[in-house]
Every structure is written in C-alpha cells, then in structure tokens.
C-alpha cells in the first residue's frame, strides 16, 4: 500500500515539475510580446500604414515603403522558389537512388547555410553584375532560404500519402505523370500549403540577407530592379537611430511584423483543420 | 466448354531472387466468378496483381511465362491500356480523398483526361452506383467527400469506380476482408449481379464465401496451383488430399 501512495506522490511531483518548468520557459515569450505591444501599439494607426517615414524631428510618419517592400520580396521569393521546390520535393519523395540521396544532403546543407552567407552570394551573383541593389536580389536571397523549407515540406507531405492511392490510380489505367499531378499532389496540397506559409513566416523577419541586396529605401518603390525597404531592415535602421520618433516607428514596425507572423500561423492552423484529408 | 477470356501459362512471379508463384497454369472463363483461395502468404495477391501488371511497379518485382487476354499476351500491350480492360478492387477501400463521391465514380475518366458531357457523367455515375448497390444510400450526397462514407460504403464506391470504366475483367482482392458481415453480404450479392456483364476473379480467405459466390475455384498453396476446378466439384469431390484437408479445415 505504502509503495503505491509513494508512486502517486512521485507522479504528482513530476507533473508539477513539468508544469512549472514549461511556465518558466513561457515567461520570456510573454515578456517579449508585452514589450512589443506596449512600445509599438501607440505608434500604430491608419496613418502609420499609409505613409512614408518622415525625416527625424517631424512627428508622425509610417512604414508604407517597408510594408510594400516586404510583400514584394516575399512574392519574388515565392515565385522563384515554389516551382523549383515543389518539383525537387516530388523528385525526392518519388525516387530513391544515389543521385537523390546526394541531392537530399545538399538540401540539408543549403538549409544550414547562415543567412548572411546567402546574402553575400546574392550580392555577388546579382547585385554586382547588375551594378545596383534591388528587390530582385533580395527576393533571390530569401527564395534561396525558402527553397529547402519548401522541398522538405513537399517531400515529407508526399511521403505521407499512402501507396494504395497511387495503386488505385494506376489500376484505373492512369499513367504515372497524371497520377502524380492529379492524385498525389491534390492529396498533399493542404500539407504543402502549410509548409509554404510557414516558410513565408520564417523569411518575413530575415534581415541579414537583405542588408546588401534589397538594401533599404526610405521612398516608395515598386520597381523590382531598384532597392526596396522591408520591415526588418526598417526596424534595424530606425531602432539604431538616436531619434525618439524613429525608434517609435521601429517598435510599431516590430509589432506589425510579429502580428503578421502570428496571423500566418493562425492561417496554417485553420488550413490544416479545413484541408485535413482522411485516407 | 466455356469461353476462355484469360489464360495464364507457365507463369512465375516473385521479388528479387525469390519466386513467390511457380509454374501457374490457369484458364479463366468469361462471365464467370473465379475464386482464388489458399493460406495466407501463398501468393494470391501477387497473382491478381500480375493480371493487371500492377506487380511490376514494386521494386525488385520479377516474372516469367505468359498471360493471355483474349489470346493476346498482356505483356505486349501497354500497362495503361491493359488496366482499362482489367479493373481492380483492393483489399482496403481506397477512394480518392481529394474527390467527392461523384468524381470518385468517374475518376477513371477524369484522371485519364477523357471529357464527358454532363449527361453522360450523370448517367455513368448513377448506373455504376446502382450496380455497386450504393445508389440509394448516397444519391442525396453525391458531392460529399467519399472518405466520409463507412468502410463498406467506401468499398462499394471503389467497386463503382472500377465498373464505371467498363472493364472486361474485374479483379477483387479480398474485397470484404475489412468489412462486417452485413457489408460482406451486400458485396457478395452484388458480385452475383455483376457476372452477367463482367468476368470476376476474386481472392478470398473464406471458403464458405468461395463456395457461395464462385463458379470456379483455384486453390493455391506455397505459390503453386494445387487444384483448379468447378467450385461445386472442388468442394464436394476434391481430387487432391491437401485440398480436402484445407476445405475441411484440417489446416490453414
Ligand atoms: N513487395 C514485396 N517484396 C517482397 N516480398 C513480397 C512483397 N509483397 C509480398 N511479398 C511476399 O510474397 C508472398 C506472397 O504474398 P501475397 O501478398 O501474394 O500473399 P497472399 O496470398 O495474398 O496472402 P494474404 O492472404 O495474407 O493476403 C509473401 O510471402 C510476402 O512476404
Ligand atoms: Mg493478399
């Protein structure tokens, strides 16, 4: 009897320890969010989203340039990495040989390369030959960062699709290409979309690879061959300035960025619920 | 005798260096139900998967010998074309999860890029579902996902899908093994109706089932065809001792 009581207590103690420790790990997270909200909320209003930053000393000013720049960079990155990533992911999930094994290692390597190095590569490959900083070069850098994430999420989602589905399609006389495109890909679409959105939420906050590619731009620019601003670049530049007004804008931009990433994660959750496919 | 539709000749199949099926000789007759039975692992699934050339998609799959469909070797036609003549229903129901019931039924056309008019589609869907005894249960929810159906309904949906493309032969690999007795009975009933139009080869573990629904029975053991005969004769006067032992439940 005594032994069992002891076990029950031990069990309870363990549960309490686990709960406390996980609470502890949440504290910094809460502190960050509270800090960002406290400092950033006061900067945010309609004006903040629709206007360009102002010179130091002038009150007000917004982040329109950085918002549009970030969207542009994300769009360029997705356009470049999505087709390549999906095709490579399909290849890796479908074919097992020495070539795909080495490809997989390369993809892992690419994922491990520090983002600043990717930025330098984009600088050498694109900025130097074109002779100026540009949204395009920034998009390439971010696309390179997204590529391995997309490849992996596609590969893993495709591998989860049961073989029986492919056989069902073959048994109806459907050829290989159509089976992949019309049976396996649609069945994997939900998982792949989640992977891509999570990839976007990761690159949205990247700063280092943009320092010498997209470069930053206090003015509105929609030309992909000219420099653009982005939220993290704007935060980086304005937070380091000595002007209180600019620092306030940096906090506001931080809140917007955190909110955007949070929103993407909510979207992924709902997508996963809605597109959940039973096999 | 009856019309031969399929003839398996000196056929071997296996994986890597190991033959799972050895020297199979068998003729399948048109508009009959042929049951393939035998103990687990004897190669029943492998045999039916050879008939629509699904066997060869497994890595390491090997085969030799020949199978003739309408007196022509199936290995001389493209698998894609063969499989439109030889449909298959799998052991576990596998409707397409991204498609609704309606599209699942005509998936053989959709996936092959064959365009149909709305009226043709409607007709094929209704006819196939009726033949698969599923129409009454789903006619009001044709546009729901097929995966919301029960297991037995899903299996009948898979049968409808196979019938929709009008195959000559229908292969069924233990189609009722994942189903309860009521659903099983439905499927057995439906098979009786189907044989007017199709030739059916059905794998089954269950001897009563083979006796109930089939005209011919093939008895496989350890990859060899032990006995092949009319079902009536096989179950009343088996010519081999092993067959008798198996049928009377002395092993297996
Ligand atoms: N992909 C494969 N690679 C290697 N061996 C396999 C493969 N598939 C099946 N086998 C082997 O082939 C043999 C026959 O398998 P098969 O599935 O044809 O048996 P079965 O008669 O259908 O059995 P059951 O009644 O259990 O379904 C088994 O010994 C199995 O281990
Ligand atoms: Mg089997």
Q: Which residues of chain A make contact with B160, given a CB cutoff of 8 A?
A: none
Q: Mutation test of the interface with chain A: which of B52, B103, B111, B165, choosing the one with the most A Cβ atoms within 10 A?
A: B111
Q: What is the structure's pLDDT at A55?
A: 87
- B46 in ligand 1 pocket by Cβ < 6 Å? yes
Residues A193, A153 share a domain: yes
Residues A150, A15 share a domain: no
Q: Is residue B252 part of a domain?
A: no
Distance B187 CA to ligand 1 centre (A): 24
- B42 in ligand 1 pocket by Cβ < 6 Å? yes
pTM of the model: 0.84
Is B77 buried (19+), middle (13-18) or exposed (0-12) by CB count in 10 A?
A: middle
Count: domains in chain A: 2
CA atoms B97, B99, B100, B103: torsion sign: negative
d(CA B155, CA A235): 58
Residues A74, A33 share a domain: no
Residues A109, A195 share a domain: yes
Count: domains in chain B: 1
B221 forms beta bridges with B224
Q: Are B108 and A172 in contact, with CB atoms under 8 Å apart?
A: yes
Confidence at A127, pLDDT banded by 50, 70, 90 = very high
**The two three-digit tokens of residue A136, written as one number:** 């395009």
Q: Is residue B243 part of a domain?
A: yes
Per-residue pLDDT of chain B (252 residues; tens, 9 = 90+): 578 999 999 999 999 999 999 999 999 999 999 999 999 999 999 999 999 999 999 989 999 999 999 999 999 999 999 999 999 999 999 999 989 999 999 999 999 999 999 999 999 999 999 999 899 999 999 999 988 899 899 999 999 999 999 999 999 999 988 778 888 888 899 899 898 999 999 999 888 899 999 999 999 999 999 999 999 999 998 888 888 888 887 765
Where residue A156 sits, what CATH number does that domain have? Answer: 1.10.3720.10
Distance B6 CA to ligand 1 centre (A): 23
Atom number, ligand 1, closest to the C-alpha of residue B46: 18
Residues A146, A61 share a domain: yes
pLDDT tens figures, A24-40: 999 999 999 999 999 99
Q: What is the structure's pLDDT at A150?
A: 95
In terms of Cα–Cα distance, which of A132, A142, A144, A141 is closest to A225? A132
Residues A127, A98 share a domain: yes
Q: Give the gap in angstroms from C-alpha A260 to the nearest C-alpha of chain B.
A: 30
Where residue B90 sits, what CATH number does that domain have? Answer: 3.40.50.300
Q: What is the structure's pLDDT at A277?
A: 63
Residues in CB range of A92: below 8 A, 6 or more apart: A100, A103, A104, A107, A151, A155
How far, in whole angstroms, is CA B94 from its chain's centroid? 14
Q: Which of B15, B210, B221 to mutate to test the pocket of ligand 1 (most atoms within 8 A of CB)?
A: B15
Domain containing residue A223: 46-275
């Amino acid at each position: 009897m005594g032994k069992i009581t002891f076990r029950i207590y031990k069990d309870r103690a363990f549960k309490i320890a686990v709960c406390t420790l996980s609470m502890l790990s949440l504290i910094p997270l809460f502190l960050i969010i509270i800090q960002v909200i406290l400092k950033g909320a006061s900067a945010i209003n309609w004006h903040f989203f629709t206007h360009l930053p102002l010179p130091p000393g002038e009150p007000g000013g917004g982040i329109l340039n950085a918002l549009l720049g970030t969207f542009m960079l994300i769009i360029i990155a997705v356009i470049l990495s999505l087709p390549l990533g999906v095709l490579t992911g399909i290849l890796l999930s479908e074919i097992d040989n020495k070539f795909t094994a080495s490809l997989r290692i390369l993809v892992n390597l690419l994922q491990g390369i520090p983002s600043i190095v990717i930025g330098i590569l984009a600088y050498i490959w694109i900025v130097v030959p074109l002779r100026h900083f540009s949204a395009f070069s920034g998009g390439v850098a971010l696309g390179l960062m997204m590529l391995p994430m997309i490849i992996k999420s596609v590969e893993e989602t495709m591998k989860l699709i049961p073989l029986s589905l492919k056989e069902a399609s073959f048994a109806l006389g459907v050829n290989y290409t159509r089976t992949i495109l019309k049976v396996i890909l649609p069945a994997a679409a939900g998982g792949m979309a989640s992977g891509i959105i999570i990839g976007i939420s990761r690159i949205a906050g990247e700063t280092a690879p943009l320092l010498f590619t997209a470069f930053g731009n206090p003015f509105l620019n929609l030309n992909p061959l000219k420099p653009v601003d982005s939220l993290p670049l704007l935060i980086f530049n304005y937070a380091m300035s000595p002007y209180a007004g600019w620092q306030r804008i940096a906090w506001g931009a931080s809140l917007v960025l955190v909110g955007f990433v949070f929103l993407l994660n909510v979207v992924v959750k709902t997508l996963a619920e809605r597109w959940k496919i039973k096999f | 005798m009856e019309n031969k539709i399929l003839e398996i000749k000196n056929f071997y199949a296996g994986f890597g260096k190991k033959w799972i099926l050895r020297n199979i000789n068998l003729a399948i007759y048109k508009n009959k139900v042929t049951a393939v039975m035998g103990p687990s692992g004897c190669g029943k699934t492998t045999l039916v998967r050879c008939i629509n050339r699904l066997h060869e998609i497994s890595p390491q799959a090997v085969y030799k010998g020949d199978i003739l469909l309408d007196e022509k070797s199936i290995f001389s036609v493209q698998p894609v074309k063969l499989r439109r003549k030889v449909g298959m229903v799998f052991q576990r129901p596998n409707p397409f999860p991204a498609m609704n019931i309606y599209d699942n039924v005509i998936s053989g056309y959709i996936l092959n890029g064959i365009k149909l008019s709305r009226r043709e589609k409607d007709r094929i869907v209704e006819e196939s579902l009726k033949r698969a005894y599923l129409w009454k249960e789903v006619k009001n929810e044709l546009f729901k996902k097929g995966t919301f159906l029960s297991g037995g309904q899903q299996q009948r949906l898979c049968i409808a899908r196979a019938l929709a493309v009008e195959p000559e032969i229908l292969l069924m690999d233990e189609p009722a093994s994942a189903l309860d007795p009521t659903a099983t009975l439905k499927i057995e009933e439906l098979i009786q109706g189907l044989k007017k139009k199709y030739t059916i080869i059905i794998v089954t573990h269950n001897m009563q089932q083979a006796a109930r629904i089939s005209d011919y029975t093939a008895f496989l053991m350890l990859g060899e065809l032990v006995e092949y005969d009319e079902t009536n004769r096989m179950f009343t006067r088996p010519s081999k001792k092993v067959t008798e032992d198996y049928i009377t439940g002395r092993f297996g």
